[in-house]
Chain A
Amino acid sequence: MSKTKKVIGLILISLILITGTSSLVFAEKPLPADAALDQILHYPLLGEAGTYVDFMKTIYQCLFGVARITQEALFQYNKDLEVVPMGTESWEISNDGLSWIFHLRKELKWSDGKPVTAHNYVFALQRAAEQGYDFSWYWKSAAGIKNWEKVEKGELPIEELGIKALDDYTLEITTNVYKPYLLGVLTLLYPVPQHAVTEYGDEYATKAETMVGNGPFKIAEWIKGSHITCLPNPNYQGIWKPYLQEVILKYGTINAETGFPAYLNDEIYKSNLNSGQLPYVRQNIPQELHFWPAFRINYLSFDTTKPPFDDVRVRQAFSYVLNREELCSTVLKDVAIPEYSVLITGFPGHDPIEAKELSEYNIELARKLLAEAGYPEGKGFPELELWIKKNEQNTIIHIPAATYFQAQFKEKLGINIIPRIIERKTYTDAQNQHTHNFFFEGYGYDYLDPSNFMDLFLSGGRHAWSNPEYDRLVREADTTQDWDKRIANYRKAEKILIQEAPIVAVFQRIDNSVWKPYLKGEGVEPNKNGIVIWDTNLYQYIFTHIYIAKH
Chain B
Amino acid sequence: MWRYFKKSKLGIIGLVVISVLICAAIFAPLITPVGYEELRYLNKINSLPSRDNWFGVDSVGRDYFTRVVYGTRVSLFVGFTAALIALIVGVTLGALAGYFKGIVDWVIMRLVEIFSVIPALLVAIFFVTLFGSGIQNIIFIIGLVSWRNICRLVRGEIITLKEREYFIAAKAIGAKPLRILFRHLLPNAIAPIIVGLVVCSSRAIMLEAMLSFLGIGVNPPTPSWGQMISDGLYYIQFYWHLPLFPSIFLALTVLSLSLVGDGIRDAMDPRLRGRS
Contacts and interface: CB of A to CB of B under 8 A. Distances in A.
B43 interface: yes
A276 B59 CA distance: 8
A42 B220 CA distance: 39
Interface string A257-277: 100110000000000001111
Given A275-B59, A276-B59, A330-B45, A418 B219 contact: yes
A399 interface: yes
Contacts of A195: none
Contact of A261 (B37, B220, B237): B237
B234 interface: yes
Contacts of A326: 42
A279 interface: yes
Interface string B197-219: 00000000000000000010001
B233 A331 contact: no
Contact of B234 (A257, A261, A280): A257
Nearest to B239: A276
A274 B237 CA distance: 11
A326 B45 CA distance: 13
B39 A404 contact: yes
In this complex, the interface size class of chain A, counting residues with CB under 8 Å from chain B, is: 20 to 34
Given A331-B42, A403-B60, A407-B38, A276 B221 contact: no
B127 interface: no
Contacts, number: 59
A62 B38 CA distance: 41
A260 B231 contact: no
A287 to B, nearest CB: 19
Contacts of A280: 237-238
B49 interface: no
A366 B234 CA distance: 34
B239 to A, nearest CB: 5
Contacts of B133: 420
A400 B231 CA distance: 9
A396 B234 CA distance: 7
B211 to A, nearest CB: 13
Interface string B242-263: 0000000000000000000000
Contact of A418 (B45, B220, B237, B239): B220
Interface in A418-476: 418-421
Contact of A257 (B60, B61, B221, B233): B233
A399 B39 contact: no
A276 B220 contact: no
A373 B215 CA distance: 33
Contact of B61 (A260, A277, A330, A418): A330
A260 B237 contact: yes
* Best-surrounded residue of A396, A403, A421 (most CB of chain B within 10 A): A403
Contacts of A410: 37
Contacts of A279: 238
Contacts of B236: 257
Given A274-B234, A276-B238, A276-B239, A400 B38 contact: no
B46 interface: yes
Contacts of A418: 219-220
A406 B221 contact: yes
A333 interface: yes
Contacts of A331: 39, 42, 45, 59-61
A399 B231 contact: yes
A410 B38 CA distance: 10
A403 B235 CA distance: 16
A407 B221 contact: yes
B235 A407 contact: no
Contacts of B61: 330-331
A421 B215 contact: yes
Contacts of A419: 220
B37 A276 contact: no
Given A331-B59, A418-B219, A419-B220, A277 B39 contact: no
A276 B237 contact: yes
8 closest Cβ pairs, A-B complex: A276-B235, A330-B42, A403-B60, A418-B219, A400-B60, A407-B39, A331-B60, A280-B238
Given A257-B236, A276-B239, 9 more contacts: A261-B237, A274-B235, A279-B238, A330-B42, A400-B59, A404-B39, A406-B37, A407-B37, A410-B37
